[in-house]
Amino acid sequence: MRKLIAGNWKMNGLASSLAEIEVLKGLTGKVTCDIVVCPPFTLVEKAAECAAGSAITVGAQDCHAQTMGAYTGDVSAEMLAEIGARFVILGHSERRAAYGEMDGVVAGKAAAVHKARLASIICVGETLTERNEGRAAEVVCAQLEGSIPDTATSSNTMIAYEPVWAIGTGQVPSLAQIEEIHSSIRQMLKERLGDDGGRVRILYGGSVKAQNAKAIFSVSNVDGALVGGASLKASEFAGIILAAD
């Protein structure tokens, strides 16, 4: 399966940060994996223009489930499609924690993303307490069950397994722990989507760096990465992309 490496810039980046995309464009023709950069809303259009014709595709970090209406401050999937986004990250643990986004809300947003002919990167992951209670796989599969809409296929849906305790902390689960959860996710996807579930890309996210990426990519059912901090500098992000190839 072709790997997909997505960078989540979170609430970072002004127009000057587009220089990082300029650098990444240098990878065009040199790598076979899919590369996605998800800047804040304000940069999506400019990033898409900057990346046009290159190996880089642009995504956003959230959207509303409705197409339009009285939702002050929100942005619809259709609006994102119009300005050149091709992917939308949904259900990131920071949004689940800060805005109380429940699985059903994530599923509604994912359905809107699919309707706008974009692809969703649906994030799931356990907290440290849940892991210590031995419930990591159970929690992740329950989140997935509730967060994947009926419109999901292997072409419009990617899953990102992101243990909450590994995000931005420098802590990474062991390769065996990653393998166990990715294999549970794969099984659940096959139960839900049949053979197509075997083709959905499952990304790992949580403190991925150029230096640990190769080992993580060697784990079965790891089909790429969702990268936060290390995606902000093109030199570091490129190291991760090259490790995937």
- By the 8 A CB rule, do 95 and 128 touch? no
Residues between 184 and 243 with contacts to ligand PEP, criterion CB under 6 A: 205-208, 226-230
Cβ distance to ligand PEP smaller for residue 208 or 243: 208
Q: Is 182 a catalytic residue?
A: no
**Which stretches within the chain are classed as H helix?**
18-24, 41-51, 77-82, 93-99, 103-115, 128-132, 136-147, 175-193, 210-217, 234-244
In the bound complex, what is the minimum distance in angstroms from residue 167's beta carbon to ligand PEP?
4
88 bridge partner residues: 60, 120
Tell me the three state secondary structure of residue 133. coil
The site that binds ligand PEP (CB under 6 A) totals a number of residues, namely 13
In the bound complex, what is the minimum distance in angstroms from residue 150's beta carbon to ligand PEP?
26
Looking from the CA of 72 toward its CB, the CA atoms found within 13 Å total 0
Q: 20, 64, 78, 92: which one is catalytic?
A: 92
162 binds ligand PEP (CB under 6 A): yes
Strand positions, DSSP E, the chain:
4-8, 34-38, 56-60, 87-90, 119-124, 157-161, 201-205, 224-227
Q: Is 162 a catalytic residue?
A: yes
Query: Of 129, 231, 218, which is closest to residue 182 (Cα–Cα)?
Result: 218
Alpha-carbon distance of 183 to 161, in angstroms, equals: 11
Q: 20, 78, 101, 162: which one is catalytic?
A: 162
Alpha-carbon distance of 86 to 118, in angstroms, equals: 5
Residue in the shown chain whose Cβ atom is closest to ligand PEP: 228
> 134: Cβ–Cβ under 8 A, 6 or more apart, which residues?
none
Site string for ligand PEP, 7-46 (x = CB under 6 A): -x--------------------------------------
Show which residues are catalytic.
92, 162
Which residues form the interface with ligand PEP (CB under 6 A)?
A: 8, 162, 167-168, 205-208, 226-230
